Structure 1
């Protein structure tokens, strides 16, 4: 199976888990969708972020620090974010972003500053 298809399937599986977790936890289910932020439910296809990790950020095939490293982004580089999901906590932050730059890979949200709106849930 091609790598991209495998990563997409992993992302879909992780997203399914995030939906279950979000349904079970009101804190995880809240985000900035809806009228109270003036977006009226309309979101861009991709969100933007900037890597703040000293020395750069390893990108992984799952939202965990122990999963395989499949990419790398230098500190200061802008990245394209598709969505966010809960994963392994990194320095107290349990959110991970699914990045779309070149390949589909996960980056710990702790090391990515949002540019503009907060990404939607996967």
Structure 2
């Protein structure tokens, strides 16, 4: 076997191994490739009397502020917390203050947020 044939075969094997590793591992982070920032998620508040935003994803935590019905909010990520009408998902909102809102009262605009 010639040196060129051996080098070609090793190159193909190395490239195939790199592709296989990327396929198995997936992307290294959940960052937007163009800006190196986390993706932006949006949602619309559906609570009739406005959505109470809290200091943690629990119904008993301190209320930070209220967001009116119909307002579009920016969501950073989601996590599990106290159940609100049989839904235990809460969104961390980044509009002015970092506060938690029950996902039951927020309708996603586009893809569902990533996990925290």
Q: TM-score, normalised by structure 2?
A: 0.68
The higher radius of gyration belongs to 2
| Among candidates 70, 78, 87, match of residue 84 of structure 1 | 78
CA separation in 1, counterparts of 2:55 and 2:93? 11
CA separation in 1, counterparts of 2:50 and 2:64? 14
CA separation in 1, counterparts of 2:88 and 2:115? 13
Q: TM-score, normalised by structure 1?
A: 0.65
Matching of residue 58 in structure 1 with residue 52 in structure 2? yes
Q: CA deviation at 1:46?
A: 2.0
Higher RCO (CA-CA < 8 Å; seq separation 6+): 1
**Once superposed, which parts of structure 1, at least 4 consecutive aligned residues long, lie more than 3 Å away?**
41-44
State the partner residue of 1:48: 42
CA separation in 2, counterparts of 1:75 and 1:93? 19
Q: CA deviation at 1:42?
A: 6.0
State the partner residue of 1:72: 66
Matching of residue 97 in structure 1 with residue 91 in structure 2? yes
May I ask how many residue pairs the two structures share in their alignment?
84
- Retained in 1: the 8 A contact 2:51–2:101? yes
5+ residue gaps, structure 1, are 1-33, 36-40
Let me know the Cα RMSD of the aligned residues: 1.6
